[in-house]
Structure 1
Amino acid sequence: MYHAIVFFPLIGALIAGLFGRVLGAKVCEYVTTGCLAFSCLIAWGVFFEHGDHALRVQVAHWFSAGDLTVDWAFRIDRLTKVMLVVVTTVSTLVHLYSVGYMEEDPHRPRFFAYLSLFTFAMLMLVTADNLVQMFFGWEGVGLASYLLIGFWYEKPSANAAAMKAFIVNRVGDFGFSLGIFLVFVLFGSVAFDGIFPRVEELKDAHFHFLGHDWHALTLACLLLFMGAMGKSAQFLLHTWLPDAMEGPTPVSALIHAATMVTAGVFMVARLSPLFEMAPDALVVVTVIGGITAFFAATVGLVQNDIKRVIAYSTCSQLGYMFVALGVGAYSAGVFHLFTHAFFKALLFLGAGSVIHAMHHEQDMRNMGALRRFIPFTTAMMTIGTLALIGFPFTAGYYSKDAIIEAAYASTRPGHTLAFMATVIAALMTSFYSWRLFFMTFEGPARWGAHGHDAHAHDDHHAAAHDDHGHAVATADAHHDDHHAHTPHESPLVMTIPLAILAFGALFAGLIFKDRFIGEGMDAFWGHALAHGHDNHIMHDIHHVPALVSAAPFIMMLLGFVLAFWMYLRRPDVPHTLATQMPLLYNFLLNKWYFDEIYDRIFVRPAKWLGLFFWKEGDGRVIDGFGPDGISARVVDVTRGVVRLQTGYVYHYAFVMLVGVAGLVTWYLMTGAAGGAH
């Protein structure tokens, strides 16, 4: 049963990838989507099974090297079951949605093969029984994301974005791998069953590194968290996430909702017994999470690309999840991961429906008044927006409020910063979410005959970054009649996934809150998450002041009122503010200039060094004095020797005479030396 959940997506990927040209695009779509749907049904069945005990399912023995033995096995506990449901549900709906969204693309078999491969890698990660298997899934997700982000490889921007995601993640993965090495040194095992029972006895152990004695578990957890920062796009290693929008919109939904970006959150939750014994590492997790929540929300305030706004929203919400993990509210963090998957996938796929309706336009400045033309998509985006901002009784309301209350109730260092950051981020989340909604669906129409002249430059720019990255000729053809069409509702194959996700965005919190963070929490989670003897945070959140509990709702209302006033009542205000505060506006628009800073500090020196080694090292030294240099000298010598081949007998006689003279001289000198001796 568990084998089927994990391996059916791989079967679909292999069929579509190897036999796509023979079977055709339609068959590949049906096969991959069917395999995912089958996995999803089994995953939901497993999720509702009773029993909280962890189950180990052996697949095969992987390898042994000295004291290191690694098996390929599945660890099935409540945390695994939650992740199986999240990954397979969102992936199935993304597959189904892609059937309509990618209809015009000539490379659909390859696309669906990549999607299924991505899902298989994520399932390998969440079912891992040991750190090495987790690292295998971790790297598999990174590879598949590289392939999906750069799917339209004809676009230089897509190639650059794919490389950026791959390289930035390698930075985090370097720390992750060092963390795995250190865990093996400390515990003599990489299997969770060999690590978790021994955590208590090693809680005071130290490790000598770089001339300093470090608290061993703190160092290990910080290195592991470095991997989580890269994969989950936390502050400082976040720069790849917005550029990942270069991939098709279904890819954005898959990466940003349920799979790649939540891998770091899952990893910290899975290793919570380790982190519980490293309180200093948890302080770092809390602070980084709070900063990320605030930072990403500020950048989302001014973005104009509809997908980038939602991307920064993802980054911010991931910060919330890490705040929960950092203060010890592991169940609240995983609950937000669970609810976030529904409403964030809904928002991304809804944005894809808008882009589809607008003939591949992504700039919100060229939209407006779409509510009358795509009412179903508008309703779905409304539900997604309400869940994201934490409107009462939607999915986001329960999980997001629990995190903010946990940040307040915590006594760990850094909790005050995290609380303030998450509350302020709640205000900004509401503002930029309603800004997106009003600019897209309300107000005057800024497309077609309504806005062609005023936004000709923006339209050209948007066409150059066409989300449907077909051949250039196709994109140009779309651009020619870009404004000649009236926006239209998406086909049924795209709207059905929206409706299913909308149900989850509305009711997932209400249905599952008691199991995840309520009275049934202990029975539901069992031993899947660590709850230290002094960790009562999930009980303390019920005793926070009323104003703290009301703070997210107050921030949500303020954000709505502000966005309503600025974008519907006084649409001249945003432009006026941007003009009056150009430094702040450009600072946020350029994402705090992190790309420019990294370009100056890392990218340019790396390129200069590479160019130096190529031109000077490889070209001048290795080629000049190495194989190419030697071969060139041989050619020079042979050219000189060839000149001796004149064809005249007296030339040859002269050379022979010189040779005889040389031999006689050598003999006389060596003979005389020998006689003297």
Structure 2
Amino acid sequence: MNLLFLTFLFPLIGFVLLAFSRGRWSENLSALVGVGSVGLSALTTAWIIWQFNVAPPEGRVYTQQLWQWLSVDGFETNFTLYLDGLSLTMLGVVTGVGFLIHMFASWYMRGETGYSRFFAYTNLFIASMLFLVLGDNLLFLYFGWEGVGLCSYLLIGFYYHERKNGNAALKAFIVTRIGDVFMAIGLFILVFHLGTLNIQELMVLAPQKYAAGDGWLQIATLMLLGGAVGKSAQLPLQTWLADAMAGPTPVSALIHAATMVTAGVYLIARTHGLFLLTPEVLELVGTVGGVTLVLAGFAALVQTDIKRILAYSTMSQIGYMFLALGVGAWDAAIFHLMTHAFFKALLFLASGAVIIACHHEQNIFKMGGLWKKVPLAYASFLVGGAALAALPMVTAGFYSKDEILWEAFASGHQGLLYAGLAGAFLTSIYTFRLIFIVFHGEAKTEAHDGHGITYALPLMLLIVLSTFVGAMITPPLAGVLPESIGHAGGEAKHSLEITSGAIALAGILIAALLFLGKRSFINALANSAPGRFLGAWWYAAWGFDWLYDKLFVTPYLLLCRLLGRDPIDQTIGLLPLLARGGNAILSRSESGQLRWYATSIVGGAVLLLGIVLLA
């Protein structure tokens, strides 16, 4: 396990080499470096996982100090890597799924301008995410946190020649920065009160320093939650995620599946000891997740862009993870994080295959009848969509989502349980709406299938991992996170499994009735007055962008216009203006005419005499 540092060193080297190539390398060489560096990182991770299981370190924790970062007035922070069951799980997901996405991207991005630049950004993205999950202190974690944010800006705005793409990147950067500021405030509070940001020390010192429900700790955890909802696109900072689809499709897979959006879930799980001391904030975590998953589900029902539908599904699935964290189902949240990485990466990569096949068309209503023309993408959508909808017994998503629903029930959070079941129903409908419209019905465009091992192999491996095979991979979280209360289960758990499975199947059946065939009923419903209103409202994702525009953007632009004229500067500028005016007037008096000078002297004398007499 002393090779742990290589997991991020390989992608960093790849980034440096590709950045300094300045686009002069061939596509093959750029792909070899970009994909190969992440592949070496994945191989190193596989070796570390094998060693961790065969010869686990003492206490099942391994630390590797690289160098000292800061030492200021007793406050010390080191670049130290911390490996336990939680970070090992994240390490495997980031490098494993990240490698498959890189491999697919080497096919998808062929012929694109900026091929080597793309892999430079993605390599730095992977390295930053590894900093985030391996850091033993919150400052090191925050360093990776900001690196991921920077790379997301670069990747979302990759096609920067179009203004809308730059706007989407800027929106993602600004909204996530709002959350990051909250998180930074939380770190300041913790270091002020506890004198350290080392995560394990915080877990020990916090119960000693703070009583349960302490006000300062509540503020600190609220600030950490603010950072988490920004990065993981949860209410109320969720608006950036759908617009992030402006980037290339492999970027969408990378951001939405294996890396960035799961960072908030990891943060809360890693600092669980702080949240356990603030139960009200932990309840808020679950509530945020429950509300977000339902709102995102309704928004996904009416979207027409294939990638935006998957984006809202990501928002919804991250909501399930927050719900799990809020009810204390720590292991279920990380389990769903892992399975979600499998099937969501599969769906995004398959959507990329469909987009390429349809000549970069993304409107699902301009597709249709593609199941024969792109059979591998169709199989990928069937398996990935079934896992997303949590089809019983055969999909990875069923096992992880069912665990979350059971924990919500066992912990007495009935409202969150109902939200989870409603979200499952909506997920089945919008997922198979997408599949039926794109792959069945009348063909509306010519399509050509992809080919090559870099196209097929990632999809086939992810298909396998999205089935029950992926659910057989158990994250080694024993002793790392608190044990959930609902493990026993029994007859009640089986009843809930049957209920959730029936709900998923009912959603698929309803989607088939509505979207297979002529769709006359759903078209009539959509064209009715209530249908048009709800459709427009949900299509606009409940109007959060409009609301934020009125509350924040418009006043900000008005303030910019006012300050653009700089009234303070203009006020101060009156002094030199008066001086120049006075100078101009007095200069006119220097005419050289004797009569004018005599008159001025007499007038001045009269004025002085008048002042003296009046005084």
Q: Whole-Å Cα distance in 2 between the matches of residues 550 and 570 of structure 1?
A: 32
Give the 5 Å matches for 1:84-163.
84-163=91-170
Deviates more, 1:63-72 or 1:233-242: 63-72
**Is 2:342 the partner of 1:342?**
yes
Question: 8 Å contact 2:407–2:485 — kept in the other structure?
Answer: no
Query: Residues 490 and 433 of structure 1: is their aligned pair in 2 closer, same or farther, counting only changes over 3 Å?
Result: farther
Q: Whole-Å Cα distance in 2 between the matches of residues 575 and 175 of structure 1?
A: 44
Letter of the structure 1 residue corresponding to residue 542 of structure 2: W
C-alpha displacement of 1:26 = 3.0
Question: 8 Å contact 1:286–1:322 — kept in the other structure?
Answer: yes
The partner residue of 2:555 within 594, 605, 627 is 605
Question: 8 Å contact 1:406–1:541 — kept in the other structure?
Answer: no
Q: Whole-Å Cα distance in 2 between the matches of residues 338 and 206 of structure 1?
A: 32
Letter of the structure 2 residue corresponding to residue 333 of structure 1: A
Question: 8 Å contact 2:212–2:277 — kept in the other structure?
Answer: no
- In the alignment, which residue of structure 2 is the partner of 1:625? 572
After superposition, give the CA deviation of every residue in 1:389-439 in whole Å (9 maximum; x if it has no partner): 11223111110110111111113xxx2111001101101101111000000
Question: 8 Å contact 2:160–2:166 — kept in the other structure?
Answer: yes
**Is 2:489 the partner of 1:528?**
no
Query: Residues 73 and 640 of structure 1: is their aligned pair in 2 closer, same or farther, counting only changes over 3 Å?
Result: farther
C-alpha displacement of 1:271 = 0.8
Q: Whole-Å Cα distance in 1 between the matches of residues 554 and 18 of structure 2?
A: 40
Letter of the structure 1 residue corresponding to residue 544 of structure 2: F
**Is 2:520 the partner of 1:572?**
yes
Question: 8 Å contact 1:377–1:489 — kept in the other structure?
Answer: no
Letter of the structure 2 residue corresponding to residue 4 of structure 1: L
Q: Whole-Å Cα distance in 1 between the matches of residues 36 and 570 of structure 2?
A: 55
Letter of the structure 1 residue corresponding to residue 395 of structure 2: T
After superposition, give the CA deviation of every residue in 1:500-553 in whole Å (9 maximum; x if it has no partner): 2112112444422xx34xxxxxxx32432134xxx523x244453543221221
- In the alignment, which residue of structure 2 is the partner of 1:13? 15
Question: 8 Å contact 2:27–2:110 — kept in the other structure?
Answer: no
Q: Whole-Å Cα distance in 2 between the matches of residues 232 and 542 of structure 1?
A: 33
- In the alignment, which residue of structure 2 is the partner of 1:496? 457
Question: 8 Å contact 1:339–1:508 — kept in the other structure?
Answer: no
- In the alignment, which residue of structure 1 is the partner of 2:395? 394
Q: Whole-Å Cα distance in 2 between the matches of residues 306 and 206 of structure 1?
A: 44
After superposition, give the CA deviation of every residue in 1:165-210 in whole Å (9 maximum; x if it has no partner): 1111111112111111122223221101321122332351676xxx
- In the alignment, which residue of structure 2 is the partner of 1:475? none
Q: Whole-Å Cα distance in 1 between the matches of residues 9 and 576 of structure 2?
A: 54
- Which stretches of structure 1, 4 residues or longer, exceed 6 Å deviation after superposition? 629-646
Give the 5 Å matches for 1:76-475.
76-204=83-211, 214=215, 216-391=216-391, 392-411=393-412, 415-447=413-445
C-alpha displacement of 1:277 = 2.0
Letter of the structure 2 residue corresponding to residue 309 of structure 1: I
Q: Whole-Å Cα distance in 1 between the matches of residues 5 and 524 of structure 2?
A: 59
Question: 8 Å contact 1:94–1:254 — kept in the other structure?
Answer: yes
- In the alignment, which residue of structure 2 is the partner of 1:482? none
Q: Whole-Å Cα distance in 2 between the matches of residues 640 and 29 of structure 1?
A: 74
Q: Whole-Å Cα distance in 1 between the matches of residues 479 and 68 of structure 2?
A: 26
C-alpha displacement of 1:634 = 8.9
**Is 2:472 the partner of 1:544?**
no
> Among the aligned pairs, what percent are the same residue?
37
Query: Residues 543 and 183 of structure 1: is their aligned pair in 2 closer, same or farther, counting only changes over 3 Å?
Result: farther
Letter of the structure 2 residue corresponding to residue 621 of structure 1: I
Query: Residues 203 and 642 of structure 1: is their aligned pair in 2 closer, same or farther, counting only changes over 3 Å?
Result: closer
- In the alignment, which residue of structure 2 is the partner of 1:673? none
Residue aligned with 2:71, SS? strand
C-alpha displacement of 1:569 = 3.7
Q: Whole-Å Cα distance in 1 between the matches of residues 178 and 8 of structure 2?
A: 28
Letter of the structure 1 residue corresponding to residue 25 of structure 2: L
**Is 2:31 the partner of 1:33?**
no
Query: Residues 141 and 633 of structure 1: is their aligned pair in 2 closer, same or farther, counting only changes over 3 Å?
Result: farther
Query: Residues 43 and 430 of structure 1: is their aligned pair in 2 closer, same or farther, counting only changes over 3 Å?
Result: same
Query: Residues 21 and 421 of structure 1: is their aligned pair in 2 closer, same or farther, counting only changes over 3 Å?
Result: same
Normalising by structure 2, we get a TM-score of: 0.91
Q: Whole-Å Cα distance in 2 between the matches of residues 206 and 289 of structure 1?
A: 22
C-alpha displacement of 1:640 = 9.5
Question: 8 Å contact 1:398–1:509 — kept in the other structure?
Answer: no
The partner residue of 2:48 within 46, 49, 53 is 46
C-alpha displacement of 1:308 = 0.5
Query: Residues 205 and 381 of structure 1: is their aligned pair in 2 closer, same or farther, counting only changes over 3 Å?
Result: closer
Q: Whole-Å Cα distance in 1 between the matches of residues 520 and 451 of structure 2?
A: 32
- In the alignment, which residue of structure 1 is the partner of 2:608? none
After superposition, give the CA deviation of every residue in 1:53-77 in whole Å (9 maximum; x if it has no partner): 2111101100122232111111111
Question: 8 Å contact 2:464–2:470 — kept in the other structure?
Answer: no
Q: CA RMSD in A?
A: 2.5
Residue aligned with 2:129, SS? helix
Q: Whole-Å Cα distance in 2 between the matches of residues 641 and 135 of structure 1?
A: 64
C-alpha displacement of 1:490 = 4.5
C-alpha displacement of 1:24 = 3.8
C-alpha displacement of 1:630 = 8.0
Q: Whole-Å Cα distance in 1 between the matches of residues 316 and 261 of structure 2?
A: 12
Give the 5 Å matches for 1:646-665.
none
Q: Whole-Å Cα distance in 1 between the matches of residues 129 and 306 of structure 2?
A: 27
Q: Whole-Å Cα distance in 2 between the matches of residues 498 and 639 of structure 1?
A: 80
Letter of the structure 1 residue corresponding to residue 316 of structure 2: S
Q: Whole-Å Cα distance in 1 between the matches of residues 441 and 281 of structure 2?
A: 48
Question: 8 Å contact 2:257–2:340 — kept in the other structure?
Answer: yes
Query: Residues 549 and 157 of structure 1: is their aligned pair in 2 closer, same or farther, counting only changes over 3 Å?
Result: same
- In the alignment, which residue of structure 2 is the partner of 1:487? 448
Q: Whole-Å Cα distance in 2 between the matches of residues 530 and 405 of structure 1?
A: 17
C-alpha displacement of 1:491 = 4.1
Query: Residues 62 and 545 of structure 1: is their aligned pair in 2 closer, same or farther, counting only changes over 3 Å?
Result: closer
Residue aligned with 2:237, SS? coil
Letter of the structure 1 residue corresponding to residue 192 of structure 2: V
User: How many pairs align?
Assistant: 590
Question: 8 Å contact 1:172–1:230 — kept in the other structure?
Answer: yes
Q: Whole-Å Cα distance in 2 between the matches of residues 551 and 603 of structure 1?
A: 45
Normalising by structure 1, we get a TM-score of: 0.83
- In the alignment, which residue of structure 2 is the partner of 1:554? 502
Query: Residues 193 and 98 of structure 1: is their aligned pair in 2 closer, same or farther, counting only changes over 3 Å?
Result: same
